[in-house]
Each structure stands twice: as C-alpha cells, then as structure tokens.
Structure 1
C-alpha cells in the first residue's frame, strides 16, 4: 500500500504559510508562524504581485504605488515591546525599578502581543504630538486587532495561562481606552473593560495565584486594575472588586506604588476607600443611609492615620523620602474624607467640613514634600478635590499640577480631565444652584463612566 501523502498546508492558510508549505494555525489577523518570524500575515483571496511598482492583478491592477514606505509605517514588534517596557511602564510605576519583563516570552503570546502593540503605539502617537493621518489609522487598526484577538480567545476554551493573558490584556485595554485614548472616542468601553476584568477575576480564577507567585508584571497589572476599579467604583457607585482586607495582601509585592509593608498607610487608606465605595454603592442603588457611628468610626480612623504620619524632617537617613510618602498618603486620605462628607453624608460643596478637607489637601499638593514622580500619581485626588476648589489660588495650583503631569505622562485623557474641571469651576463661580447642591453621583456622572484615574 502506498504511503498516505503528507499534508503540508491546510485550507484557508495565509499566503506566507502557503509559500513555505507549512501548516498554518489560521490565527487572525496574524498566525503564530508569521508572528514568530516577524512576517506580514495575509489571508487575502487574491495576492498582488508587483512589477516596477505596478500591480498586475486585483483591484489595484495597473496602479503605480511606491515601493518605499516611511519608517513610521514599518511597525516592528520589537520596537513596540521595547517602548512598552522602557517608556510606558515607568509611567505606571512610581518606584525606582521597572518590572522584570521577558519580552521574548511576551512576543510569543498573541493575546498580550496585540494589546501591548496597541497601547504602545497609541501612547507613542500622542507623546510625539504627530498629526500624521497614517499614524492615526495605524493606532485605530492596532486597537481593533487587540480587541479582536481578546474577544476571540475570550470565547474559546481556557487554561490558566490563557486566563492570565486575558486578564493582563484586559488591563491594557482599560489603560488604552480609559487613560491613553481621548475619553470621547470610546466613552463606554472603559466601563465595559472594568466589568469584564472583574468577571475574569471572579469566575475564571485565572489570577488566583498572583499574590502568592509575586511575579512582577502580573502583580503590577493587578495593582493597576484594582486601583482603576476602585476609583471608578467611587465615582460611579459600583461595588469594588477588592475587599478592604485584601489590600494588605499587596504588602511586600511590587505594585505600581512600589513595595511597602502590609500595614503601610497607603494600603490602609485604599482599604478605607474600598469600605467607602461599598457603602456608597448602597447609598446610590439601595437608598441606604449610613449610620452616624459608622461615619464617625471611619473619620476617626483617617484622623488616627494622619496623626501617626511623620510631620517634619528630623534629619535621620531617609527622612525626606518618608515625608514625601507621608504627603502622598495624605493626599489620598483627604480625598477619602471628601468622599465621606459628600457621597455618604450628603454635605453640599460649600459646607465647612468639605471645604476644610479640600483646603488641607491643597496645602499638601502645593507643598514641597511631594516628589515629581509621586505628584504624577495623584490624578484621582486632583479630580475629586479640584472640582470642589472655590478659590482661584487653589485652581492655579491644580492647573499647574495638571500641566506638569501632562508633559510627563502624555495621556490624552488629561485633556478631558482639565476641560471637566474648567466646566465645573465655571458653574461654581456662577453659583449654579444645581451644582452647589448636587449630590456626588450627579456631579461626576459626565466623566465617571469613561475615565480611569489614580
């Protein structure tokens, strides 16, 4: 009996695999074999062949198109990976170290590859200030490719590695649509990404071992996601994914805020925020009234944290760093007080307690203790406190802070952030009754669904 002929191609193979006579896995938009060698993957029914820059077949037959392409269009996966590691990740990490990343390993994961390319290209486009239409088209294509790859794998069978990749890709899509991109372009996408990320964490269990593994990139991505989810929950009235007690599990792990102990002031403040967000969810969606003793207990806890923080430079080694960290924690702590007064207690914008918390926070923001890197990571407090600033001197400080941060971060969403602040200030100056007496949820509903800030 004659041997069965060996099948070297499959129906629907890309042109690259057909030429090389290898089995294509049919992954779109780029199969694994083409991805591994950096080859352009093409599934078109008709392949163009060029003679002297003229197409001989297909819809472009007879048209002369230059063979040369500008370098900006010759997008290289390695370039995007390096940009992601060296330019983008440091903007999401306030420690002095960048997470250890195996770029070769990441480049073999098509789910992560597409998402990394999308966020890297989008950020590089905005950071460069280029108005090149080709770059804009490439940015949109990269985002669409990342979404297609994510959704395709979302609907397929999953193992633990795939779930981890899907979760990290989901975080990158949150960053893309909620921070890097203009909020007006994908206004509903951010909320859906956050909801989807919580679904992955709750039901698939793909990242259940991240805290135990202490791997740097997954921990960094998890810390970014849970912070975005928490601040989003505070603004929109959702329940946060992470319970208050779980924030201590970030102790001694490389999160975006650096490595701190489980009893650090920042983790305690984030746990308090988680409690506040859960109470806020009940207030908004169940018409709950928070008992006065609960409010007083939270307020006393915040005041206790403040009294235990260092106040002056005592000249000991590391004193300046401790003061800077205390100032960073204080900004978030005062913001928690504002939420307690406005969202849970229902106090108006011009109430003395609200304005006292705003003034105290502004003193820290305008002070000299916050380092530049720490200053870039107080966007959520700037939004909450900034919109309530009644005095022009305070607004000048906010504007200056946003401008300085915008230069470093190059996040397109900061433009929407600044426009939102200016609109609110105009209403406050006009003494608009709707704004002065508005509740927390109505006050932020214009920006809450589309923006991730921390």
Structure 2
C-alpha cells in the first residue's frame, strides 16, 4: 500500500512553464531561463517579442450562464430627439441649452418651453442654438478651441445669410430666422462681448430688418408664439438699456411696452397694478425725451413731474378675499419668495429710472442726496431678493446705474459682491464687463462730479445688460 503522503497519479500536476516566464515561452509551453531583456530560447528562435510584463486577454466563446446574452447593437453617431435624428454633438448641445441656458433667459418660475421644437424644423435655429450652447459650455470647461468655435459660428451665419439672401425665401420662414438671429444676438452680447470680433450691433440690425419685413415689432409680437414673444421682450429690454447708456434713441417706440402680455415676457408678473412693462415704458419715454432735448426741444416741467410720479416705488396691496388669502398662504414658500423678489426687481428698476431722470435729464450731480437716496434704496431692493430665485440675475442694469453713481465704499463693496453672485449663476462675460467698467468709472471719477454722458461714454456697445 502506498503511503498517505506519497503522491498519486490523480493529484500530480505537471508544471509545463516556470513562474514568471516570458509570453513566447508560455505560449510554446517550454521552460524559460528568465534572462532579461530576452531569454536564450527567444534569442535562439529569433523572437523579437520577448516580454515579461504583457497581459494576455482571451475572450470566452461561450457566455456565462449567469449573464444574459445581449443582442448586438451598433454604435451610431446619431441619437433621436422626438424621433428626429441628431448628431451626437447636436443632441448634447440641445440638452445643455434646454437644461442650463434657457432657464437663465427669464425670471419666471415656470418658464416658457425652449425653442427645441422649432430647432428640429429649422436648420438655422438648430445651428444658432447649438453654437450658443457650445460657446457657453466652453467658458465653463475650457475644452474646445477658439478656432473650432469660430468655424461653427461662421457656418451658422452662412446658413442664416443663405436663407435670407435666397430669392425664394418665403414669409413663413422669416419668424424662424428671427429666432435664430436673436439667439446669435444674445450669444454675442452675453457670452462673447469681451471678444475683439464681437458683432452684437450687426445681429441687432439684422433682427430689426426682419421685424420690418414682418410688419414691425408690434405686428410681429401679436402674431408670434409665446417663445418668440419672450425673446422679443428681452430684445426690446436690452435695446432700451443699451440706448440709455449709449445716449441714443431706442430702436422701437415706447408704445410697444403697453402691448406686452403677462406670461409672454422674460419677467415674472407678480400681484400689483404696476408691472415691469409699465416701468420700462416710462424709461423708454424718458430716453426719447432726453434725445428731444439734445436736438433742441424745450424742457417741460410737467413731463418731468409725470415721469417722477410714474416711477415712484409701489408696493403690492391686498386685493383678494379671505378665502383667496388662505389659498395663497397654503402655497409653497418658494412662490412667495418669487413674488416678493419680482416686486423688488420692479422697484429696483424704478429707482434706476429715477437716477436716470435726475442725472441724465435734470443734470443733478451724482453726489446729490436725491441721487444717493435712490442708490441706497435700489441696492436694498436687490440685496433683499431671495437667492433661491432667478430674479437677481436680471438686476444687472439697476446695479450698473447705481454703481456708476455710487460714492461710498459700502455701496461699492455690496455692488461688487452682488456682481460676483450673479456671475456665478450666469457665467456670462457681460457680468465681467460690467464689473470692469464700474471699477474704471470709480477710478476716473475720484470724487469729481460727472454727467451721465461722461459716466457711460466708454461703455462697450457690444455688452448687453438687463
């Protein structure tokens, strides 16, 4: 009988290779002498691929029983959006625009749907939407080269100009082209305003030309959908603020603000009789009145007093029954914060309008107590806005006006802090430009009185603010 410790035929296992052998010896199942860089067997056989650090990967021909067999899928460079094929980069840009960019265009808690459906029907809108998303995303990630982004922007312009210059361009395609040009206008004025080749005025002129072809601003606004109306309200707002700082006439008459419908604009319409459209309409009338004075018109104390009365800050009043009050109190706190912040936004624009009235029209020095009291009140309104809402992102123009006339260090510090908060929310280069311009104004002013024209004479015409 064999000893229990003696090996039997069943438990003997032949070692065909030496542990740590090179891969050619392992594959030939021969003994390797482990010499480096090449063993003697590989040298004698003329094998050039003698390596000790490779990993051999083998695919199993039979899948494991525990792993279900998946059907073969082909990788595609296109993905579907509403059953329409888009390139992968286009789908990614559309998702980014819809989720990250579009909510920044308004202060509304329940915003109007983005122009995705229109982009799927119109190539210029899709191109403009994708370029906007990629440009803004490049500011955050620093991934794409400027040359690539510039080529895509030029391609988008080529598509738009090709359709505009076509002799058979139908009137039905003009509204889509208007949306595409407006997207490029906001792209240049919000995101690319610090670049040397920015063309914000060109896009504004192009949008105005399309509006003229469609019958004017009011006719286009009345015949458009809610999404286009919202973009038009923002276009008119940026044109108004730009005209006030550049000391020129607005592109559109002041009467357009009375046609703005709540729910189809970029601002929230809170409870109260006076909406932001009324405030902006008064500011547009003041801007036209100032240009009339510069052209030789006689001053009118009655009009100045009417402007001052129209811009007096208002507060919401209780105008509903006890049952409605109970219903309002049962709603979430976020809605109340949005309503309060929206009223604060209205009042901040009212204070900014009064500063314009005193400084630009009446030529009152910026150190006068009338100007300074409205600066303080304007900043209090902006500081009181709830940080959970998007309202403070659209308070850039009141901050700009108040900051240009600020003389105390506490006001300047609070303005810079609020600009930093807005930039972190938006990541628009326009906020950076406003910050730089305010610092330059404070350095040049140095306590000396300055007129409205002197304060804003160096404002870049390509930067858009609301």
Instruction: Please indicate the TM-score interval, normalised by the length of the shorter structure.
Output: 0.7 to 0.9
* CA deviation map 1:47-87 (0-9, x unaligned): xxxxxxxxxxxxxxxxxxxxxxxxxxxx6111112211221
In 1, the alpha carbon distance for the partners of 2:171 and 2:252 equals 21
TM superposition shift of 1:202: 2.6
- 1:346/1:210 Cα in 2 relative to 1: closer, same or farther (>3 Å)? same
Aligned with 1:294: secondary structure? helix
- 1:255/1:244 Cα in 2 relative to 1: closer, same or farther (>3 Å)? same
Aligned with 1:205: secondary structure? coil
TM superposition shift of 1:240: 2.2
Consecutive unaligned residues of structure 2, counting only runs of 5 or more, are 1-83, 319-324, 330-334
Q: 1:300 aligns with which of 283, 303, 309?
A: 309
In 1, the alpha carbon distance for the partners of 2:276 and 2:218 equals 23
Q: 1:404 aligns with which of 396, 413, 421?
A: 421
Structure-2-length-normalised TM-score? 0.72
User: Where does residue 164 of structure 1 map in the other structure?
Assistant: 175
- State whether residues 201 and 208 of structure 1, in contact with CA within 8 Å, keep that contact through their aligned partners in structure 2: no
In 2, the alpha carbon distance for the partners of 1:183 and 1:419 equals 11
TM superposition shift of 1:410: 0.8
TM superposition shift of 1:156: 2.6
Q: 2:90 aligns with which of 73, 77, 100?
A: 77
Please give the residue correspondences for 1:293-332 in structure 2 after superposition, counting only pairs within 5 Å: 293-303=302-312, 306-309=313-316, 317=329, 320-332=337-349
Query: Is residue 280 from structure 1 mapped to residue 304 from structure 2 by the alignment?
Result: no
TM superposition shift of 1:417: 1.4
User: Where does residue 181 of structure 1 map in the other structure?
Assistant: 192
Consecutive unaligned residues of structure 1, counting only runs of 5 or more, are 1-35, 40-74
User: Where does residue 245 of structure 2 map in the other structure?
Assistant: 235
User: Where does residue 108 of structure 1 map in the other structure?
Assistant: 121
- State whether residues 271 and 339 of structure 2, in contact with CA within 8 Å, keep that contact through their aligned partners in structure 1: no
TM superposition shift of 1:232: 1.2
In 1, the alpha carbon distance for the partners of 2:439 and 2:146 equals 28
Q: Which runs of 4+ in 1 moved over 4 A?
A: 36-39, 206-210, 259-263, 318-321, 368-371
TM superposition shift of 1:299: 0.3
In 1, the alpha carbon distance for the partners of 2:164 and 2:246 equals 26
TM superposition shift of 1:307: 4.2
Please give the residue correspondences for 1:39-50 in structure 2 after superposition, counting only pairs within 5 Å: none
In 2, the alpha carbon distance for the partners of 1:260 and 1:218 equals 22
- State whether residues 252 and 261 of structure 1, in contact with CA within 8 Å, keep that contact through their aligned partners in structure 2: no
In 2, the alpha carbon distance for the partners of 1:399 and 1:276 equals 28
Q: 1:122 aligns with which of 121, 124, 135?
A: 135
Query: Is residue 246 from structure 1 mapped to residue 259 from structure 2 by the alignment?
Result: no
Aligned with 1:149: secondary structure? helix
* CA deviation map 1:164-195 (0-9, x unaligned): 122112211211111111434235x2223223
In 2, the alpha carbon distance for the partners of 1:347 and 1:155 equals 49
- 1:283/1:155 Cα in 2 relative to 1: closer, same or farther (>3 Å)? farther
TM superposition shift of 1:272: 0.5
In 2, the alpha carbon distance for the partners of 1:91 and 1:172 equals 13
In 1, the alpha carbon distance for the partners of 2:103 and 2:337 equals 22
- 1:398/1:229 Cα in 2 relative to 1: closer, same or farther (>3 Å)? same
- State whether residues 80 and 117 of structure 1, in contact with CA within 8 Å, keep that contact through their aligned partners in structure 2: yes
* CA deviation map 1:309-344 (0-9, x unaligned): 459xx9963665443222110000000001111111
Please give the residue correspondences for 1:420-435 in structure 2 after superposition, counting only pairs within 5 Å: 420-428=437-445, 430-431=446-447, 433=448
In 2, the alpha carbon distance for the partners of 1:391 and 1:175 equals 33
User: Where does residue 449 of structure 1 map in the other structure?
Assistant: 461
Aligned with 2:465: secondary structure? coil
Aligned with 1:376: secondary structure? helix
- 1:400/1:271 Cα in 2 relative to 1: closer, same or farther (>3 Å)? same
TM superposition shift of 1:289: 4.7
- State whether residues 286 and 357 of structure 2, in contact with CA within 8 Å, keep that contact through their aligned partners in structure 1: yes
- 1:330/1:307 Cα in 2 relative to 1: closer, same or farther (>3 Å)? closer
Query: Is residue 196 from structure 1 mapped to residue 206 from structure 2 by the alignment?
Result: yes
TM superposition shift of 1:214: 5.9
* CA deviation map 1:287-317 (0-9, x unaligned): 44532221111101212xx245459xx9963
- The two structures, once aligned, show a CA RMSD in angstroms of 2.7
In 1, the alpha carbon distance for the partners of 2:222 and 2:378 equals 35
